[in-house]
Amino acid sequence: MPTYKTWSYSYTYIKVTYRCQCIKRGLTRTHISESYFMTYVS
């Protein structure tokens, strides 16, 4: 039982961390695209 609990906790932690990384990457990509677009338009 403790092993299952530990695995479940680790899985949740990895999932949350991965999601945060994806969001950060997505925001960065969007920001870079917007900056490039603004520079291009100007």
Give the per-residue pLDDT at 30: 77
Domain around 30: 1-42
In this prediction the pTM is: 0.48
Give the per-residue pLDDT at 42: 60
| pLDDT, one tens digit for every residue, the chain (42 residues) | 567 788 888 889 989 988 888 778 877 787 777 777 777 776
Give the per-residue pLDDT at 1: 56
Give the per-residue pLDDT at 2: 65
Q: What is the DSSP string of the chain?
A: -HHHHHHHHHHHHHHHHHHHHHHHHHHHHHHHHHHHHHHHH-
The count of structural domains within the chain is 1
